[in-house]
Amino acid sequence: MAIKYKRVLLKLSGESLMGENKFGIDPKMLKHYAEQIKAIRDLGCEIAIVIGGGNIFRGLQAADSGIERVQGDYMGMLATVINAMALQSSLESTGVYTRLISAIEMRQIAEPYIRRRAIRHLEKGRVVIFSAGTGSPYFTTDSAAALRANEIEADVILKGTRVDGIYTADPEKDPNAKKFDNISFSRVISLGLSVMDMTAFTLCQENDRPIVVFDIGQEDNLMKIVQGEAVGTLVEG
């Protein structure tokens, strides 16, 4: 079966792993993601994943507990490694070969990030999970996703969220919010819409890297996008 996107970078938030819980990792959500990822891998799609750590610890919240920003950001990076390890285990339980790569060296757990090696893993059909963000403070996992997507020359960034696309306002708060099926980078900026943080968004815009924002909780959405169906909102030049 023909696929529209051969190489994708899937961006998942840490909160997406919580399910109905208020923190931590819901095993049902891990299984849900693993099954969706396996399905598109079986189609021949090359998949890289960046996952956040907000379900465990968010660096920006650290200031409230007296932890300095840089220290808090490193703590947040370690939280992404925990989530990445959980996702790796779930994927491998379904028979998917994976490679866990960390931007912060921890040899007993993950490979260090080497661009050419990461691309070779993708070419061999392994799912590559990028963890620890960019390895530097002051950058979000959105920025890490944009950076890695450009480095591995992904065809698209698939940003999985709780809503089914980009709206004129927050659809969970404003019932009159209207959804965009397609929107340009410049229009997102002019309307002040929140898709990614500005560093990440600018990186995608400058490199003409399209972004699809979609509801990751909806079964088969990932499969439909890879096959070329119009799901969520497509942001492109």
- Output the pLDDT for position 63: 61
CA distance 104 to 199: 21
Domain positions in the chain are: 7-236
Mean pLDDT of the chain: 93
- pLDDT band at residue 194, thresholds of 50, 70 and 90? confident
What is Dmax (Cα atoms) for the chain? 54
Question: What is the full DSSP assignment across 25-88?
Answer: --HHHHHHHHHHHHHHHHTT-EEEEEE--TTT--GGGGGGGT--HHHHHHHHHHHHHHHHHHHH
State the average pLDDT over residues 154-169. Answer: 93
Structure tokens at 137: 């403070």
State the average pLDDT over residues 167-189. Answer: 91
Structure tokens at 200: 């990440």
State the average pLDDT over residues 225-232. Answer: 94
Give this prediction's pTM.
Answer: 0.94
Least confident of 59-63, 91-95, 222-226: 59-63
- pLDDT band at residue 219, thresholds of 50, 70 and 90? confident
Other CB atoms closer than 10 Å to residue 63's CB: what's the count?
11
Structure tokens at 187: 């229009």
- pLDDT band at residue 16, thresholds of 50, 70 and 90? confident
State the average pLDDT over residues 141-152. Answer: 97
Structure tokens at 133: 């963000």
- Output the pLDDT for position 83: 96
- pLDDT band at residue 62, thresholds of 50, 70 and 90? low
* CB-based contact 110:100 (threshold 8 Å): yes
State the average pLDDT over residues 131-159. Answer: 97
Superfamily of domain 7-236: Acetylglutamate kinase-like (3.40.1160.10)
